[in-house]
Amino acid sequence: MKKNKYVVYWLLTGCALIFIMVLVGGITRLTHSGLSISDYKLIHGTLPPMNEQEWQEAFELYKQYPEYQKLNNHFDLEDFKDIYFWEWLHRVIGRFIGIVFIVPFLYFLFTKKLDGPTTKKAIILLIMGGFQGFLGWYMVKSGLVDRPDVSHFRLAAHLTTAFITFAYSFWVALDLIYPDKKEVNTKIRNLIRFGLVVLLIQIIWGAFVAGLDAGFIHNHWPLMSDGKLIHETVFIEHQPVIKNFFEGKSGVQFIHRYLAYVVVGIIVYIWFKTGQTQRTALQEKGLKMLLALVFVQFVLGVLTLIYAVPLWLGIAHQIGAFFLLAAMTFTLHRFTK
């Protein structure tokens, strides 16, 4: 750790910034601010409009696209400024993350602070960050054509890539913090890997729910509307039936709400199985965090559903997913290396 402490600080700073990026992105989504800036200017777009004329020009550009024409044609300039802020902040943080990743990487590279494996991992991180930025532009583009909303598939890709980039950054930092190798219980490791995959699938369907505004229906728990375990609307929104589970509001919510039980069950099972083995102090700590966070996240999900996604609960639920992924990543690392 001492040898690589500045590299570790750099990676953990990147993790913190990605967390902030996801937080602001969630606020941007829930305040319906994501389509307020319809052009992309890498350098010039860093500054918001600086005077009344520039604000009016930005507003006139916004008026040319479906969100204003079909949903927000009652907006005046002050309303536009409110939604512009969150999307602008989201993009500025994205640019800042790019600088934070690239500039220190070049410094560490030229001063030979990175060994071969860490250099390769850092290059992968830079590629992932660039791809994440592309997906953000690609997502916004989908809401500027016919309908005043972004594709929920592109939203899911953008959000999930952010989560994966965070997890990989954290993993690389953990490699440097804990460089010593140890004997691995492959059965436990593979079980936690499986849990990580299921958690990522749940995050993807959570993004589908957000993209389709599917949290505003069936606001009951533990059953869906009309006291039904599976509401008939799960199957009838689209044909063929399978499309409902990817594109239907009820079908997507059905997957997300019941997959939550699977995630909880897997993590409880991981706790039970590891209890039959000798655990290190760090493994114990990771497992305790994992178990606590999955129940907190489950409760947040239920409350978010029951109260029909108020802003603070929607953000808290997204943050909960972030911390749960961090705990899963840490636990998997401690059972892997």
Alpha-carbon span 329 to 289, nearest angstrom: 11
- Summarised one tens digit per residue, pLDDT across range 298-334 is 999 999 999 999 999 999 999 999 999 999 999 999 9
CA distances from 306 to 40, 121, 231 (A): 37, 42, 16
Residues counted in the chain: 337
- Which pTM does this prediction carry? 0.93
**314, containing H or E segment:** helix 311-334
Q: CB neighbours of 26 closer than 8 A, spacing ≥ 6?
A: 314, 315, 318, 319
Alpha-carbon span 125 to 66, nearest angstrom: 35
Q: CB neighbours of 212 closer than 8 A, spacing ≥ 6?
A: 152, 247, 248, 249, 252
Alpha-carbon span 35 to 305, nearest angstrom: 25
DSSP letters for 137-156: HHHHHHTSSSSSS--HHHHH
**Token pair listed for 49:** 């409009």
Torsion angle, alpha carbons of 176, 177, 181, 186, to 10 = -100
Largest CA distance in the chain: 68
pLDDT the model gives residue 44: 66
Helix (H, G, I), strand (E, B) or coil at 219: coil
The amino acid present at 202, given as its one-letter code, is Q
Average pLDDT over every residue of 13-31: 94
Alpha-carbon span 6 to 237, nearest angstrom: 53
**Token pair listed for 160:** 């999930």
Q: What is the mean pLDDT of the chain?
A: 93
**Token pair listed for 102:** 């690239």
**Alpha helix positions (H), 178-232:** 186-211
Q: What phi and psi values does residue 310 have, to the nearest 5 degrees?
A: -65, 155
pLDDT the model gives residue 148: 80
Closest CA to 152 of 203, 207, 206, 200: 207
Alpha-carbon span 285 to 264, nearest angstrom: 18
pLDDT the model gives residue 123: 95
3-state percent helix, strand, coil for the chain, nearest multiple of 5: 75, 0, 25
- 223 pLDDT above the threshold of 90: yes
Lowest mean pLDDT among 31-40, 183-192, 263-272: 31-40
Q: Is the peptide bond before 240 cis (omega within 30 degrees of 0)?
A: yes
DSSP symbol at 48: P
- Summarised one tens digit per residue, pLDDT across range 37-80 is 887 776 667 888 989 999 999 899 999 998 999 889 899 999 99
- Summarised one tens digit per residue, pLDDT across range 258-290 is 999 999 999 999 999 998 888 999 999 999 999
pLDDT the model gives residue 1: 58
Choice between 38 and 5, residue whose per-residue pLDDT is larger: 5
Q: What phi and psi values does residue 276 have, to the nearest 5 degrees?
A: -90, 0
